[in-house]
Structure 1
Amino acid sequence: MTGPLDRTKLLAARFRAAQDRPYLATALFSITVVASDQVPTMGVDRRWRCYVSPDFVERQPVPQLAAVWIHEVAHLLRDHHGRADRLPAGERHDHYRVNVAQDCEINDDLVADRLPLPADRIEPKTYGLPNGQLFEQYLKTLPPSVKGHDCGSGAHGVDRPWETAIGGGRGVSDVEAGAIRRDTANSIRNHTRGHGRGSVPAGWGRWAAEILEPRVDWRRALTGAVREAAAWASGAVDYTYHRPSRRSAALRGVVLPSLRQPIPRVAIVVDTSGSMGDEQLAAALSEVSGVLRAVGIGGNRVTVLSCDAAVHVVQQVHTASQVQLAGGGGTDMRVGVEAALKVRPHFVIVLTDGGTPWPGEPLESTRIIAGLIGADAPEPPSWITSIHIDD
């Protein structure tokens, strides 16, 4: 028969964790404790309730319990359950393996921070893996069958038998969790700027930067821009005599034009100047090709132009592998855009590092989307849709 939970010891460990790592204090004190004989050690659910084994608390000294507190709150702060929900079905079916990958993401920072984790802890070197990766990356490289501690649905996203929430109240809502994450990220930033004692592990610093300055998913942004341009082009109805109007039959000797809705034509201008790397260009072009296929544009409706300060290759392509890149001189994408207009595209995508002059004014019948490669790429004029592409 398991004895009662030693709450004094458990809460003393939480206090110590918050005192030693004050930037985590708000998150630590937002967790509700629920005693459970079913949980093996400690585990959290999606509502920031921590289920605790009385036997585990009795066996562990306070410093190790403090380290486990930080481990569990890290699952919640890093939104591991939300990220697990977004995994492909084939990767999330084994929640133990997901949990091990998540522990690798957390524990390399905790070990570097000299926290006294239990001796059976899991860290990247346990499997010969490098530090500093996200759990989604570790998940792809872990051995086929692994098993570690079960940190609950607040980690891997799968409800556990002990998560009854009896005595745990309503817990923390998603909105409240978002506010806790932002507050913690601000505390980490202030701490790293010299407003606190000690240093912050690199992983926490990267996490805080992502929360406070989230990176836009450029693939989603590019897809949205292409869809918008394609919808705009498809709505540009015009008259044609290729298919006479059915009303012509009522008017003998008169051929009336019919309305048509064009299928969007696309030109991709690729900056092949000396500042652009072939690998960057190939990767970006492959992504753009995938986006075009996703919105139903392909076949002979895509023209690719290789351009530095002059246009070297113009070709209609079906796949990115058919593209021939040539150049290596100066940079002037105006030349490429001007050449692209000769194929009468509905919109033009320019892949460049941004170090180029641009057309001086908007084009009447063609939209331009600039795919800017590299973190420091300068912005084009405001009338050009710009998407920053990770290099």
Structure 2
Amino acid sequence: MSPDTAGVLDRDKLFAARLHAARVRPYLATALFALHTVESRRVPTMAVDRHWRCYVSPAFVDRTPVEELAGVWVHEVSHLLRDHHGRGDRIARKSGRTGPGERLRMNIAADCEINDDVFGDGLTCPEDVVRPEYLGMPPGLLMEDYLSRFGLGPMTQELVWLDCGSGADGLDREWDLGPDGADGLSEQARDAVRFRVAQGITGRPGSAPKAWKRWAEEAFHPPQPWRALLGAAVRSAASGSGGAHDYSYGRPSRRAAGVPGAVLPSLLRRPPRVSVVIDTSGSVSDAELGSALLEVAAICRAVGGRRDLITVVPCDAAARIVHPLCSGEGIPLLGGGGTDLRTGFAKALRSGPRPDVIVVLTDGQTSWPASRPPCRTVVGLFPRASQWDEDDDPDQAYTPDAPPEWAHVVSIG
């Protein structure tokens, strides 16, 4: 399909379609009315940019029924709400594929993510809409999942006309007005729209499809890149003032030039010693213990791979043995009783030589040392949902102490 060259945009019909979309998808109304329309004969149908402008072909509006136009409104705003442009940019940076062909593949994958639950219940499905089943893929997946399941070829040849704009794949178009153009939303305004839509979805349970509920939950509680955060926290703690130094004549000091005839040693930073205290109490699941072993391996990589400098202390109500790190699979995580990680801290500090960093992996239902240990501390917390009910007696409810202020805390999972 080539760009249209028709006459004046029928805004009454276009906005009637948007009103219909807001009536049948009320939780998306805030986003639908936040879009600013731009008449354009360079787009095949409708398209969006990352600044929440919607470019509309007049000929497309003329030949499309209102019910189908309403579905296209929902389709285009879904690209923006689900941040397909930002996700497309991240995929392009990671893979190094930034050409138009790869971006077309991202647009197709993004359409597959949203089209499996856009239509029906008042929204008519156009004949040429891209669904996962058309490419032999299951519904209910994310754009990133679909990208790994198909490539450009005979099945996608008929989709070369597809162009939902830079808001769908992150690739700027010549017809984009850009960040300095009129009527674009600021980053703060875009975030406010997403928050209002997420509020509407979570405030009316049962009225939105599963994919939108999942999106709303992540909008309120965005997933942390916790492995990267944990590794950065360990590296930061290890490189702080608590890290020990030593002198070596193996590499002469650069200051030796100022002292002729003398050989001065250089100051070297010794690789940090890390002790990992793992909560093995009954409140920690087997899956979380398995995750803790994966974190031990990640911590090892974060400090340069020196397994001889890492020890592991399993601890429930008592700490038993300090295990040197040979392999994660060989560490026996014994326990299953109550929780008192103070004994784990004491065991780690008594082991020789003393660690520069203590990393604690726990669900947080424990008592903490009363004073700051003589080394840096990083706490990886397994998430826990609140068990308190409004009918419970607040005085009888158990609330575990929060990790102390001197610990760097990272939520795991």
TM-score (norm 2): 0.76
Q: Say if 1:233 and 1:262, in contact at 8 Å, map to a contact too.
A: no
Q: CA shift at 1:258, angstroms?
A: 9.6
Q: Distance in 2 between matches of 1:71 and 1:349?
A: 46
Q: Distance in 1 between matches of 2:121 and 2:357?
A: 52
Query: Which of 1, 22, 34 in structure 2 is aligned with 1:30?
Result: 34
Match of 1:253?
none
Residues 175-186 of structure 1 mapped to structure 2, 5 A cutoff: 175-186=188-199
Q: CA shift at 1:235, angstroms?
A: 5.2
Give the partner amino acid of 1:159: D
Residues 6-45 of structure 1 mapped to structure 2, 5 A cutoff: 6-45=10-49
Compare 35-44 and 198-207 and name the one that shifted more. 198-207
Residues 269-284 of structure 1 mapped to structure 2, 5 A cutoff: 269-284=277-292
Q: Distance in 1 between matches of 2:132 and 2:233?
A: 39
> Relative to structure 1, is the Cα distance of residues 346 and 186 closer, same or farther in structure 2, using a 3 angstrom cutoff?
same
Residues 1-391 of structure 1 mapped to structure 2, 5 A cutoff: 2-4=5-7, 5-87=9-91, 88-90=94-96, 94-111=102-119, 115-126=123-134, 127-131=136-140, 133-142=141-150, 145=153, 147=156, 148=159, 149-163=162-176, 169-190=182-203, 192=204, 199-233=207-241, 261-296=269-304, 298-311=306-319, 313-317=321-325, 320-321=328-329, 323-330=330-337, 331-341=339-349, 342-343=351-352, 344-363=354-373, 365-376=374-385, 379-390=402-413
SS at match of 1:86: helix
SS at match of 2:380: strand
> Relative to structure 1, is the Cα distance of residues 236 and 356 closer, same or farther in structure 2, using a 3 angstrom cutoff?
same
Q: Distance in 1 between matches of 2:238 and 2:83?
A: 35
Q: CA shift at 1:219, angstroms?
A: 2.4
Q: Say if 1:240 and 1:259, in contact at 8 Å, map to a contact too.
A: yes
Gaps of 5+ in 1: 251-255
Compare 292-301 and 65-74 and name the one that shifted more. 292-301
Q: Distance in 2 between matches of 1:334 and 1:201?
A: 46
Q: CA shift at 1:173, angstroms?
A: 3.0
Compare 93-102 and 287-296 and name the one that shifted more. 287-296
TM-score (norm 1): 0.80
> Relative to structure 1, is the Cα distance of residues 332 and 92 closer, same or farther in structure 2, using a 3 angstrom cutoff?
farther
Q: Say if 2:300 and 2:307, in contact at 8 Å, map to a contact too.
A: no
Q: CA shift at 1:264, angstroms?
A: 1.5
Q: CA shift at 1:124, angstroms?
A: 3.9
SS at match of 1:183: helix
Compare 16-25 and 153-162 and name the one that shifted more. 16-25
Compare 69-78 and 304-313 and name the one that shifted more. 304-313
Q: CA shift at 1:68, angstroms?
A: 0.5
Q: Say if 1:112 and 1:201, in contact at 8 Å, map to a contact too.
A: no
Matched length:
373
Q: Say if 1:152 and 1:160, in contact at 8 Å, map to a contact too.
A: yes
Q: Distance in 1 between matches of 2:70 and 2:335?
A: 58
SS at match of 1:29: helix
Compare 280-289 and 41-50 and name the one that shifted more. 280-289
Q: CA shift at 1:386, angstroms?
A: 2.6
Q: Distance in 1 between matches of 2:348 and 2:212?
A: 46
Percent identity of paired positions between Structure 1 and Structure 2 = 48
Q: Say if 1:226 and 1:292, in contact at 8 Å, map to a contact too.
A: no
> Relative to structure 1, is the Cα distance of residues 114 and 217 closer, same or farther in structure 2, using a 3 angstrom cutoff?
farther
Q: CA shift at 1:162, angstroms?
A: 4.4
Q: Say if 2:311 and 2:324, in contact at 8 Å, map to a contact too.
A: yes
Q: CA shift at 1:259, angstroms?
A: 7.1
Q: Distance in 1 between matches of 2:65 and 2:139?
A: 30
> Relative to structure 1, is the Cα distance of residues 288 and 75 closer, same or farther in structure 2, using a 3 angstrom cutoff?
farther
Compare 258-267 and 37-46 and name the one that shifted more. 258-267
Q: Distance in 2 between matches of 1:91 and 1:312?
A: 51
Give the partner amino acid of 1:229: A
Q: CA shift at 1:112, angstroms?
A: 6.5
Q: CA shift at 1:317, angstroms?
A: 2.5
> Relative to structure 1, is the Cα distance of residues 113 and 267 closer, same or farther in structure 2, using a 3 angstrom cutoff?
farther
Q: Distance in 2 between matches of 1:326 and 1:223?
A: 22
Compare 33-42 and 79-88 and name the one that shifted more. 33-42
SS at match of 1:17: helix
Match of 2:394?
none
Gaps of 5+ in 2: 387-399
> Relative to structure 1, is the Cα distance of residues 20 and 302 closer, same or farther in structure 2, using a 3 angstrom cutoff?
same
Q: CA shift at 1:346, angstroms?
A: 1.0
> Relative to structure 1, is the Cα distance of residues 329 and 73 closer, same or farther in structure 2, using a 3 angstrom cutoff?
closer
RMSD of aligned Cα (Å): 3.6
> Relative to structure 1, is the Cα distance of residues 295 and 124 closer, same or farther in structure 2, using a 3 angstrom cutoff?
farther
